Structure 1
Amino acid sequence: MGRSILTSGVVLALAAQFASAVLPRGVHKARVLKEPADLADSYDYVIVGGGTAGLTIADRLTEDEDTTVLVIEYGLLSDSESIKTVRGGFGGFGAPGALFPTRSVPQVNLGNRVIDVLAGKVVGGSSAVNAMMTIRGAKGDYDRWGQFFREDSEWSWEGILPYFKKALTFVPPNEDVAESSGIVYDTSFWGEGESGVYTSWPSFQYPGTSAQLEAWKEVPGVTFPPDSGSGETGVYWYPQFMDPKLVERSYARTGHYSNSDRENYHLVTNSKVIKIVVEDGTATGVSFRPADDPAGEVSTIKASKEVIVSAGAVHTPQVLQLSGIGPSALLEAAGIETIVDLPGVGQNFQDHPMLTARFTLRSLDVSPKESDLSRGGEFRTWADEVWAANRTGPYSIATGNLAAWLSYPVISARYDEIATRLEEQDHAAYLPEGTDSTVAAGYKAQMLSYAEALRANHTGFYNHAITASPSNGIIVDLHPLSRGTININPENPDAEPLVDYRALSNPLDAAIMADIIRFARSFYMDNAFNAQYDPVESQPGASVQTDEEMATYLARTLSPTEYHPAGTAAMLPKELGGVVDEDLRVYGVAGLRVADASIMPTLVGANTCQTVYAIAEKAADLIKGSVTTTNTNR
C-alpha cells in the first residue's frame, strides 16, 4: 500500500502533557480544591453540577474577580486515559466511575426491555464521555424554541448563533486532508478563539468516506451546506471536540476549569445535592452530603445572588423535586413538602431513538478502512508508527466526520399525510395518565410545530453517519414525537430517578421511523451509485415492508436513546407546562435558574453537546445582565 494517500496530513507536533501522578488530596494542578469544611459560608453563585454547562457558566462568571462561585459536583476529577483519548470516540464510557448507574424502567412498547441511561458522572459531565461529534443542528430547531413564547424571542437561530461562536475555538482541517477528502467548511460560522474548548479535525480521513459522498449526489432534494454550523440540513463534514495540539479530548473540564487559577472559583467534588434551600420564595443556598456516604454529614452553603442548577436532564428534575419544586401529587407521595407546584418538572423527557438498518455494498473497495486496524499488516503498522511518533493518522479520528441530516420531505413522499395525522391527533391521549393540563397543552404546541416542520425543509428528521466501511447501520430519528418522564422514586427519592422513555407511545413515531428505514433502503438498494457495488440488506430484511411489519421490527430492535436526554425542565410558558422562562428562571422561585439540556423544550436535530455549551454561554450573559428579554410569563 502506497503512503502517498495515507500521509497527506501535516504532522502535528505533540505538546507536552501534564504528569499523571496522583496529586495530594485537595490539590489539582494550579488551584486548590476545597473540602466542604474549607469552603466559604457563602458565595455569590452556587452551581449544582460541574458538567458541560456548569463549568462553562462558572468560568464566565468568575472572569469578574469580585464574583465568587462554588460548583458542587457529584463525580470526581478523572485523569483517565479513556477520557483523554480520541481513538474510537467512545473511550470515555470506559473510564472507571465516569457514568451514573441509571437504568430505565421496563419499556412496554419495546418488549419490556430495560435501557441503560448513560450520563457523565465526572468533572466535565457528559462532555467527558461523549463521542466528540461537534454538531449544531438546523435553524428551525432553535427558532421553534422562542416561538413558543413570542415571534421576536431571542431564543432563535440568530439569537443563539453568537453563543455557538463564543463557545468553541474552531481549528480548520489540514489543507491537504481537506483537499484530498473533499472537506468543505466556512469559518464565518465559527468564532475567533474565545473559548478553551476546541473543535478541530483529525489528521487523516479514510478514502472510502469521501467516496461514499458521491452516492448522496444522486438523491433528489439533498443539499450540501457550506459548513456543518450553517444551520442548514443536508450532507456535510463536521469537526470533533479535540485539542489539535495534544490530540486529546477537549471538553468542559479542559476548557473551563483545568487552566483556570482563580481564587474566586471553587469546586467541591464527590458531593450529592440533597436540596436547594428556599426561604420565603427565594433560593438562598444548597445542601449536600458526600456522594459515597448516604449517612455523611450534610453541609449547607449560602448563595447571596443565585443558585443555578446544571445537573443535566436526568438529574436536574430530581434536584428540583427533592427541593419541593415539581408536581405536587408526586411530591406528596414521596413525603416531600411542596414549595412550588410546578407540574412540568420531570415531564417532556426526550432522547434520540437509534434505528438499526444494516446495508452492505459488497464490492465497494474502500480500503483502507477502520476494520483494517484490528487485522495487522502494513496499514496497521503505519498507523501505530505515526500515532506513536506524532499522534497523527487514523487514530486521530473519533467517530467519523461525514453525515447526512435530512428533512422529512426529502425522505418521505407522504410527509403531508403524516403531518395532517399529527395535527388531528388527540395529543393528550399519548401522555401518561393524569398529566397536568398545562403539560398537555405544551405537548400539543410542540406537535403542531412538528407538523409544520414535517412539511418544511428547515428541520432535520433523519441522521445517517457515514463511515469508511462498506456496511452502515445506525440511523437516528432526530425529532421523536413520544414524550417520557424522569421523576424521583416516591419510595426512595434519594435513589437514582425513575427514567421512562415511553418509547413509541405516540404511534406516529413508528410510521415516521418506517419511512426513515424505507429511505435508507432506497438509498442503498436503488441508488445508481450504490447499485453498481452489489448492495445487500441484512436488517430489517426484504420481508419487512408495511408499517405494521416495521412497527414489529422496531419493537424488537429500537434503542430509545442516543444518550441525548433533554427537555425535563423545559423553557416554555408556564401555561404550556414550562419550568423556566426565557431568562432560565424557575417559575415561582426567585434566585433560581436552570441551564443545561433539560431546558430544551424540543430536542435539537443534533448531538446535544455543542448546544449545551451555547445555552451555558447565553445563560452566563443572562445572569450577568448583559442581555435581557422582555419576558412576561413570570
Structure 2
Amino acid sequence: MPRVSSLLVTILALAGQTCLAQARSHHASRVFLDGRDVDEQYDYIIVGGGTAGLTVADRLSEDGESTVLVVEYGELSDAASIRTVRGGFMGTSNRSHMYDIQSVPQTNLRNRTISVLAGKVVGGSSAVNAMMTVRGSAADYTRWGGFFSDTSHWSWDGLLPYFKRALNFAPPDAAVTKSANITYDTRFWGNTSGVFAGWPSFQYPGTTAQMDAFRGIPGVPFVEDSGSGEPGVYWYPTFMDPSLVERSYARTGHHDKAANRTNYHLVTRSKVLRVILDGTTASGVSFVPVGSATNSTTETVVGARKEVIIAAGGIHSPQVLQLSGIGPRNLLTSANITTLVDLPGVGQNFQDHPMISVRFTYSNFTFHPAPEDAVLDRNFSSWVDTVWKANRTGPNSIATGNGAAWLPFPVISARSENISAALSAQNHTLSLPPDTDPTVAAGYRAQMLSYATALRNNDTAFYNLVISGANTNSILVALHPLSRGTVNIDPTDPYHLEPLVDYRALSNPLEAPIIADLIRFTRRYYLDNPRTRAWAATEQAPGEAVQTDEQFAENLARTLNPSEYHPAGTCAMMPRELGGVVDEELRVYGVEGLRVVDASVFPTLPGGNTCQSVYAVAEKAADLIRYGPPKTQE
C-alpha cells in the first residue's frame, strides 16, 4: 500500500519516535482511552465527536462495511448535568465538560474578555446547550448557496430534507397544546432520527399571554410552525426525549446507536495535532492523549483510506487546519509551521450571536398557574416537586422555554431602508483587521451586500426575544451580526495553547445602531403596547435614560456579550476568491480527501440557535461523502 508507506515516511520525519496504532481486526470494546488500541487504518477518520462528528460517523458506518474512527478531546460521560432538562442550562454546570477559553480583550467593549463556551465531551455542544430546537429563516440557507450561484444545492429547498432527517419530532401533549394554543405542522419534521425534538408536559399560562401580546404591534407575523423557514412569533420544541424526559443529543441519538458496530470506533481524551498530508492528499491524522507532550512517544498516527473529516467546531476546526499547515501563510510562518496550502480564510470570518442586556419587570402579571391542588402561590413549589417526582411531568420538564419572536428588521425598525443603504455604501474593508487578505475582504463585502438586501425585506429574522411566562425578561439576541472576528493559533506555542479568539465586537459601525433598534422595539413591546399596558412594566436595563444611538453605543460597550455560544464561520463554505475554505461539497480547497463538517463552514449565521442547523449540515455532508453532489449539479 504505497499511500501508507508514504504516510509513515512523512510521520517519521515530522515526529521522530512515534507510537503507531496497533492493527486489530476485532475489538471487544469500540470505545478506547488509548490511541494504541485503535486500528492502523480506517476508511474515514473524524476529528471531533460532537454534534456534527457523531452524526456523520453514524451515517458513514451504518452500512456495516465502511470503517470509521472518531477522535474526541473530551470524555464519554453520562452525567446527570447532561441528562437534566430542567431550566435548560444544567449542561454548562459541569465545567469538566466545557473548554476553558477566554477571548482576547475586546477593544470596543472596554477591553473586556469574553468566555468562549463550547462542549468538551462526547456529544460536543449538543450535550451542554440550552436545548432550543430552532431553525433559521429559509433565506438564511439560500444565502449560503447564493455566494456560489443561483442554482446551488445549498438552499432552503436543498437543506429541508436534511432538517427533517436530522430529528424525530414528537408532538406536544394534546391537553397542553389546547390550553396553551400551541401550533405546529408535522410537514416540516421527520420521525426516523434517534435525536428527538420533544416538548415539556406543561406550559405557564403567562407564556401564551406574552406571545399573544405581539398581536398588539402592527405588522408582527405569526407562524404556525418553527420549522417552516418563516420569521415570526412561534412555538418551538426542545432537544428532549419525551419518553425519558431527558436531553436528546448527538451521543444518545447517534453514538449509542453506532457503538455496537464492529466498523465504528471512538477514542476519547485525545488531542489531534495535525492532519497528515501525503503531498496534497490527506492520508491520516496524528494525535496524543490530552495533557501529554507533543511529538512524544505517546503520539499515535492513524491512516485514512478515503477521507479525513474535521468536525471540531467553530473554535477548534480552524486550529486543526492551521496546525496542519493549511491556512494564512503569514500566520503559519510566525508560528514556525510550514505552509502546505496557503488558504487565507482559515480562522477568519468568525461570527457569533451577540446577547444584549435588557430587563423589564412587570408587577401586574400572573406567572404561576393555579392547579387544583396548588391554588395558592405558596404551594406552587410543592406541587412542582410532587408531580416531577411522581411521573416526571410539570414545570421541571421545561428547559429554557418554548416561545419566542424571530422578527425581520422592517417590522422592528423604521430605519430599515436607511440602514440598508448605509450598509451598501460602506467601505467594508474598514471594518476588518488591517492585514486582511483581499479574498477574505471580498467575501465580507459579499456578505454585507446580502445583509443590506435582507435588512429591508421581510424574509430574514434579525431580532430574537425569548419568552418564558415569567414576570421578568432579559434574553434579547441579534441574529445577524455585522462584525467579523478571528480564531488563530497562538504563534508562541501553537500546539499547547488554545487558539486566540477575537470577536472584534462592534467593529462594524452600523452594528450598534441596529442593536439600538432591537432594544427600542423591545421597549415598544413592553411599554407602548395595548396588550401589555395592564402589566405595569418597568425598564431595569438599559434604563430609560438611554435614548440616543450614542447613548446606546456607550451602554453596549459596557454590557454587550458578543457570544450566545454559537461560534461559526471560521472555515467558511464560500468560493475561494471570496475567502472560502471549503467548497459546496465541504472539501478543503487545495487538498484531496479532506472536508470540514460543523458550524465553522457556515458562511453566515442562521437566524436561530445553531444546533439544529449543524445536524442538518452533517446529514447533508454524509450524503455528499457517500453519493456525491445532487445529480442536477453534475
Q: Same fold (TM over 0.5)?
A: yes
User: 1:30 Cα deviation (Å)?
Assistant: 7.7
Aligned partner of residue 507 in structure 1, secondary structure: coil
Q: What does residue 610 of structure 2 align with?
A: 608
Equivalences for 1:406-417 in 2 at 5 Å? 406-417=407-418
- Distance in 1, matches of 2:67 and 2:377, equals 54
Does structure 2 retain, via aligned residues, the 8 Å contact 1:581–1:631? no
Equivalences for 1:1-12 in 2 at 5 Å? none
- Distance in 1, matches of 2:460 and 2:80, equals 37
Equivalences for 1:513-528 in 2 at 5 Å? 513-528=515-530
Change (3 A) 1:528 1:29: farther
Aligned partner of residue 486 in structure 1, secondary structure: strand
- Distance in 2, matches of 1:630 and 1:488, equals 39
User: 1:429 Cα deviation (Å)?
Assistant: 0.8
Does structure 2 retain, via aligned residues, the 8 Å contact 1:351–1:560? yes
Change (3 A) 1:210 1:377: same
Q: What does residue 250 of structure 2 align with?
A: 252
Does structure 1 retain, via aligned residues, the 8 Å contact 2:193–2:253? yes
Aligned partner of residue 274 in structure 1, secondary structure: strand
TM-score (norm. length: structure 2): 0.93
Equivalences for 1:434-583 in 2 at 5 Å? 434-494=435-495, 495-583=497-585
Q: What does residue 119 of structure 1 align with?
A: 118
- Distance in 2, matches of 1:292 and 1:248, equals 32
| Structure 1 range deviating more: 600-609 or 534-543 | 534-543
| Structure 1 range deviating more: 217-226 or 326-335 | 217-226
Does structure 2 retain, via aligned residues, the 8 Å contact 1:148–1:573? yes
Does structure 2 retain, via aligned residues, the 8 Å contact 1:460–1:478? yes
User: 1:376 Cα deviation (Å)?
Assistant: 8.7
User: 1:101 Cα deviation (Å)?
Assistant: 0.8
Q: What does residue 287 of structure 2 align with?
A: 288
Change (3 A) 1:626 1:581: closer
Aligned partner of residue 258 in structure 1, secondary structure: helix
- Distance in 2, matches of 1:476 and 1:442, equals 24
| Structure 1 range deviating more: 491-500 or 288-297 | 288-297
Given candidates 225, 229, 232, the residue that maps to 1:231 is: 229
User: 1:362 Cα deviation (Å)?
Assistant: 1.7
Equivalences for 1:292-307 in 2 at 5 Å? 292-294=291-293, 297-307=298-308
User: 1:469 Cα deviation (Å)?
Assistant: 1.1
Q: What does residue 344 of structure 2 align with?
A: 343
Does structure 1 retain, via aligned residues, the 8 Å contact 2:461–2:479? yes
User: 1:543 Cα deviation (Å)?
Assistant: 1.1
Q: What does residue 178 of structure 1 align with?
A: 177
Aligned partner of residue 532 in structure 1, secondary structure: helix
Does structure 1 retain, via aligned residues, the 8 Å contact 2:368–2:377? no
User: 1:35 Cα deviation (Å)?
Assistant: 3.0
- Distance in 2, matches of 1:116 and 1:96, equals 12
Aligned partner of residue 322 in structure 2, secondary structure: helix
Q: What does residue 594 of structure 1 align with?
A: 596
User: 1:184 Cα deviation (Å)?
Assistant: 0.4
- Structure 2 stretches lacking a partner, 5+ long: 1-26
Q: Which amino acid counterpart does residue 462 of structure 1 have in structure 2?
A: Y
Equivalences for 1:183-202 in 2 at 5 Å? 183-191=182-190, 193-202=191-200
| Structure 1 range deviating more: 427-436 or 381-390 | 381-390
Q: Aligned pair 1:99/2:98, yes or no? A: yes
Q: Which amino acid counterpart does residue 175 of structure 2 have in structure 1?
A: D
Change (3 A) 1:282 1:629: farther
- Distance in 2, matches of 1:90 and 1:360, equals 22
Q: Aligned pair 1:166/2:165, yes or no? A: yes
- Distance in 2, matches of 1:376 and 1:357, equals 27
Aligned partner of residue 217 in structure 1, secondary structure: helix
Q: What does residue 396 of structure 1 align with?
A: 397
User: 1:259 Cα deviation (Å)?
Assistant: 2.9
User: 1:214 Cα deviation (Å)?
Assistant: 2.1
Cα offsets for 1:390-421 (capped at 9, x unmatched): 11111000100000000000000010000000
Cα offsets for 1:71-115 (capped at 9, x unmatched): 000000111100010011011101241001111000010010010
Does structure 2 retain, via aligned residues, the 8 Å contact 1:361–1:530? no
Does structure 2 retain, via aligned residues, the 8 Å contact 1:582–1:631? no
Aligned partner of residue 593 in structure 1, secondary structure: strand
- Distance in 2, matches of 1:493 and 1:34, equals 24
User: 1:473 Cα deviation (Å)?
Assistant: 1.6
User: 1:345 Cα deviation (Å)?
Assistant: 0.1
- Distance in 2, matches of 1:379 and 1:448, equals 52
Q: What does residue 312 of structure 1 align with?
A: 313
User: 1:291 Cα deviation (Å)?
Assistant: 1.0
- Distance in 1, matches of 2:555 and 2:629, equals 49
Does structure 2 retain, via aligned residues, the 8 Å contact 1:45–1:70? yes
Aligned partner of residue 516 in structure 2, secondary structure: helix
- Distance in 1, matches of 2:633 and 2:117, equals 34
- Distance in 2, matches of 1:502 and 1:629, equals 41
User: 1:626 Cα deviation (Å)?
Assistant: 5.2
Aligned partner of residue 529 in structure 1, secondary structure: coil
Q: Which amino acid counterpart does residue 513 of structure 2 have in structure 1?
A: A
Aligned partner of residue 614 in structure 2, secondary structure: helix
Aligned-residue CA RMSD (Å): 1.7
Change (3 A) 1:31 1:332: closer
User: 1:451 Cα deviation (Å)?
Assistant: 0.2
Aligned partner of residue 389 in structure 1, secondary structure: helix
Q: Which amino acid counterpart does residue 595 of structure 1 have in structure 2?
A: V
Does structure 2 retain, via aligned residues, the 8 Å contact 1:154–1:629? no
Cα offsets for 1:348-372 (capped at 9, x unmatched): 0000000111112221222249xxx
Q: Aligned pair 1:367/2:368, yes or no? A: yes
Q: What does residue 5 of structure 1 align with?
A: none
- Distance in 1, matches of 2:552 and 2:212, equals 29
User: 1:32 Cα deviation (Å)?
Assistant: 4.5
How many equivalent pairs are there?
Answer: 601
Cα offsets for 1:530-562 (capped at 9, x unmatched): 112212111111111110011001101100000
- Distance in 1, matches of 2:111 and 2:202, equals 43
Does structure 1 retain, via aligned residues, the 8 Å contact 2:368–2:380? no
Q: Aligned pair 1:331/2:332, yes or no? A: yes
Q: What does residue 85 of structure 2 align with?
A: 86
Cα offsets for 1:456-495 (capped at 9, x unmatched): 0111000000111121122000000000000000111121
Aligned partner of residue 275 in structure 2, secondary structure: strand
Aligned partner of residue 319 in structure 1, secondary structure: helix
Does structure 1 retain, via aligned residues, the 8 Å contact 2:404–2:465? yes
Task: State, as a whole percentage, how many aligned pairs show the same letter.
Answer: 62
| Structure 1 range deviating more: 487-496 or 572-581 | 487-496
Does structure 2 retain, via aligned residues, the 8 Å contact 1:340–1:588? yes
User: 1:34 Cα deviation (Å)?
Assistant: 6.2
TM-score (norm. length: structure 1): 0.93
- Distance in 2, matches of 1:281 and 1:441, equals 26
- Distance in 2, matches of 1:376 and 1:256, equals 42
Change (3 A) 1:487 1:630: farther
- Distance in 2, matches of 1:376 and 1:51, equals 42
Change (3 A) 1:308 1:29: same
- Distance in 1, matches of 2:498 and 2:551, equals 36
Q: Which amino acid counterpart does residue 554 of structure 2 have in structure 1?
A: T
- Distance in 2, matches of 1:629 and 1:478, equals 33
- Distance in 2, matches of 1:80 and 1:611, equals 25
Cα offsets for 1:313-356 (capped at 9, x unmatched): 00000000000000000000000000000000000000000011
Q: Which amino acid counterpart does residue 268 of structure 1 have in structure 2?
A: V
- Distance in 1, matches of 2:523 and 2:251, equals 41
Q: What does residue 71 of structure 1 align with?
A: 70
Does structure 1 retain, via aligned residues, the 8 Å contact 2:31–2:267? no
Moved over 4 A (4+): 28-32, 629-632
